[in-house]
Amino acid sequence: MHLRGLQKWFTLLLAVIFLCGAVFPAWAADRYDRKSKNFFREVTEIDLDQDNDMESAEQNDEEIDSEKEDKDKKRERTREHERLNKGNIDDNGLKIRLEVELEEETEAGLAEDELPGKNDRAGLEKLTEKLEAMLSAQPGNTKLLHRLAVYYRNLGEYDRAIELCKEILAADPANQSALVLMAISYRAKGDIATAIEQLQQLLAEKETVGHSVYAYLGILHEAAGNLAQAVESVEKAVYAAGTEKKEYRQKLGELYVKAGIPGLKIFIRGQKIEPDAPPFIENGRTLVPVRAVAEALGLNVQYFDNGTVVITNPTNGRTVTIYIGKTEALIGSQKTSLEASAKIKDERTFVPLRFVAQGLGAGVDYLADGQIVTVD
């Protein structure tokens, strides 16, 4: 009896072991499979995220590298100009910066791989040889002529650059890139008079040109001793640049001093105004004819019999009220005082320029060299 009981339990144990052997491996395999899938899915997602992050980082690096490369090229170009023009640079380096800007404009439209650096003489010579062969097969091809002119200028072979520019101009007399290239090449050869002629031809052919052309022409006129023409050209550069390029204003001030042109000069939004009565300084403040300033800035002026003058900026609605002969004034409804009062002189009403301009929302600057007052 005891033996049969043991046999029964032994048989039951064997059955349990058999069932476990059949079921557990399948369950374990399924669990392992599910865990593996989850694991690989998570790893894949991480890899994708890392790939995206790496791709984004690479794009940012490329943009940063591109910006750095552009800046490096500009610095290298400026250093090259300084080397070529050593001992012949104006004090603030304006001529060099202008030539850099103008050269970049003449290279507009050329692909990056079409513009080897000036220091890569071997690369430039190889490209010029190739393009000369292409030009022989395609005479008169303007794009080839333009590229070759740029390369020869960069090689310092100015006569060939000029020759190619003349071919361009024979077909297109108003081609700005060719005229500017010729002017820079003639200037590099020391032929300033002919460089001036090229830019004057450009101005005669084109209704509008960039401010850098006017400024460069002014620098060339100064080098040739033509101070009156230099002043006129840089004044045009100041007007064309508007509120940009304050260095033009500084150069203009130097030219006014050099040319011995006295008196205050008023520039409003880059344009020199010529009031019918000259401005003057009183108590350190510039007084100008109110009518001339109002017209240049688009202001409205009202005169009252009691000596009150109300000036309104129609753009922002601000008003300034001034009383002839008094140091009291109003900005809107707020009372303030003036260091120099408005006054009547030569039958013209003069008002303090800085107070009026700033009170109506404009900025005012004064440059001691050349006595230049600017309102923007």
pLDDT at 294: 87
Q: Note the pLDDT tens digit of each residue in 326-360.
A: 999 999 999 999 889 999 998 899 999 998 888 88
Q: Which of 12-16, 28-32, 265-269 has the lowest mean pLDDT?
A: 28-32
Please tell me the class of the 271-375 domain. Answer: alpha beta
Could you tell me the residue ranges of all domains in the chain? 94-264, 271-375
Query: What CATH fold (topology level) applies to the domain 94-264?
Result: 1.25.40
In the DSSP assignment, the letter for residue 138 is S
- The rounded distance, in Å, linking the Cα atoms of 291 and 311 is 10
Please compute the mean of the pLDDT values over residues 276-288 and round it to a whole number: 89
288 C-beta neighbours (distance < 10 Å), count: 29
The alpha carbon of residue 124 and the mean position of all alpha carbons in its chain are separated, in whole angstroms, by 28
Q: Is 348 helix (H, G, I), strand (E, B) or coil?
A: strand
β-pair type (265-268, 372-375):
parallel
Are domains 94-264 and 271-375 of this chain identical in fold? Answer: no
- The rounded distance, in Å, linking the Cα atoms of 26 and 72 is 66
Please compute the mean of the pLDDT values over residues 219-242 and round it to a whole number: 94
Please compute the mean of the pLDDT values over residues 166-178 and round it to a whole number: 88
- Which element (helix H / strand E) includes 9? helix 2-84
